[in-house]
Chain A
């Protein structure tokens, strides 16, 4: 094994990537774990915002609808990198102002929490549009049937609308998840040690740019592939009861 790596000139790379110091593999995995935490958190927050946003856009009053229209338009129009800088610095500024007005000192902002907030707000705008479209695609008769049997509104949403819209929403939501995993890399600009920043640090310390960025690319690819498998299952579940186009039974 060592001989083979040697002959390919990869022994050095293997050493650099080893999990224990002096290898940097551990740092990369820690970065990955931070990235995934943020992606998960932001995605979950985005879904919650998206669900409220979608219902607000469909059934809300005029003011609610206008505010949501501004939210989704602005967020989707401004480049994410700019949004992250704005939301991050504005957010930490506000928190510090509040803290000092209450007599506290500078607050150390938790990177994961900040990342989740910032990306979650971005994700929420996209999720709002995906879910709104999916809810509108549910045949009205499904919701009307629930109503006609005296099902209360919230239960109708939980038992009928959401399950019925899932098959329309899942493809879009799968994309959104992949965007979430990759957008975490943008948090490097605010100095948060997710995978991309860890990679850059390892690379510049060792000058092995190629090795580390290739490794990071591989990790992002693995995340995407695993997500693909999971979302395929979720989509199959969401489409239960719908005959597939190929005629097979689901």
Chain B
């Protein structure tokens, strides 16, 4: 069960490349063991939805993948490159971590836009300063991306003047600006008012349709079923069940998953 592979469309020539491979990931906070050996593979073009109850370790897993949390042990391979780790799991090569992070763009539940920068400045920040893209080029691209998420007219506005949905779409534009090989979404819509959820999901749906590789932690079951090609159900730090959405949602094996699905409706 731990090593099951994500289902990938057979007609895609590049789809067999492993974008992310997590093997036997453990993470403890002091005495509390949050992840108890999680293994997961996402191939290029996969949309992996991660579902599970509150406190099951979904965020922790996502954050371990880009080392916002340091894993206690396990092996993480990003785009074929294995992250160097000490025996205790801590990364041993800061530069490697930084380089890998530029390929994994994260979208946070609380948006985390830089409040002292306009949307345009937020979007060009990483390309210009971290990736050293020429500024004019970065600005042009930023305008395209803001246009794409429906914020073309808000380039010079500061985040605090926007609705949550607009901020989250801007955060997605910021993530896209680094041209990531994988996007990590941690409950991108759960801080939003219900009427704003749709606009953000529409953007994510588009990204899924164009073949972006994504790991998506979400409480939106209908949405997960619709966009994901692989669903992972996490229970108390272990993968309880995973598979194609039709099976996980339509015909769950595990009693816990059944109960979880009925509780979230």
Contacts and interface: CB of A to CB of B under 8 A. Distances in A.
A243 B115 contact: no
Given A241-B159, A243-B160, A149 B102 contact: yes
B107 to A, nearest CB: 9
Interface stretch (A32-40, A119-127, A156-164): A156-164
Interface residues of B, number: 30
B114 A142 contact: yes
Contact of A249 (B117, B129, B161): B161
Given A148-B68, A242-B160, A249-B161, A164 B116 contact: yes
B7 to A, nearest CB: 28
Contact of A150 (B112, B130, B161): B130
Contact of A159 (B68, B115, B125, B158): B125
Contacts of B101: 147-150
A241 B108 contact: no
A164 B105 contact: no
A145 B99 contact: no
Interface in B94-136: 97-102, 104-106, 108, 110-118, 125-126, 129-130
B61 interface: no
Contact of B98 (A144, A145, A152, A159): A152
Contacts of A144: 68, 108, 112
Specify which of A149, A163, A241, A243 lies most central, judged by the most chain B CB atoms within 10 Å of its CB: A149
B178 interface: yes
A141 B106 contact: no
Nearest to A237: B116
Interface of A: 139, 141-142, 144-152, 155, 159-160, 163-164, 166-167, 240-243, 249
26 contacts: A141-B111, A142-B112, A142-B114, A142-B115, A144-B68, A148-B66, A148-B68, A148-B101, A148-B105, A149-B106, A149-B178, A150-B98, A150-B100, A150-B126, A150-B130, A151-B98, A152-B130, A155-B130, A159-B125, A159-B129, A163-B114, A164-B114, A241-B116, A241-B158, A243-B160, A249-B161
